[in-house]
Amino acid sequence: MKNFGQMMKQAQEMQSKIQEMQDQLTEMEVEGNAGGGLVTVTLSGKNELKKLSVDPSLFNSKDVEVIEDLIVAAHADARKKVEEAMKEQMSKMTGGLSLPPGMTLPF
């Protein structure tokens, strides 16, 4: 039974670390850029759109599709950075151990 108590303590510690990481991700903001900085998207660590900036020079363009594509590309860039930050946080939390394939944490 000593092992069970120890496992429960470790589970509670892990849950506390996960909650702390979730709080950090909520506060984190990451920028993604496209078009050499003409479009910037700012996301929270939970992929919530916080800010969108479009250089005014793009509004002189009659090609709306270019602007739309740049917004999508900036968003994809920001999401990639959020995912990398999450992996880095997870690695710190687990001491470099990765989760088994198909297993995810609740974020």
CATH of residue 69's domain is 3.30.1310.10
Residue 44 domain-assigned (yes or no): yes
Q: Are 33 and 39 in contact (CB under 8 A)?
A: yes
Cα of 80 vs its chain's centroid, Å: 7
Radius of gyration of the chain (CA): 19
pTM of the model: 0.67
Residue 1 domain-assigned (yes or no): no
Domain count, the chain: 1
Residue 75 domain-assigned (yes or no): yes
Grade residue 101 by pLDDT with cuts at 50, 70 and 90: low
Residue 79 domain-assigned (yes or no): yes
Residue 57 domain-assigned (yes or no): yes
Per the model's pLDDT, the better-predicted residue between 104 and 21 turns out to be 21
Residue 20 domain-assigned (yes or no): no
Full domain range(s) for residue 76: 29-89
Residue 102 domain-assigned (yes or no): no
Summarize the confidence of residues 11-23 as an average pLDDT: 80
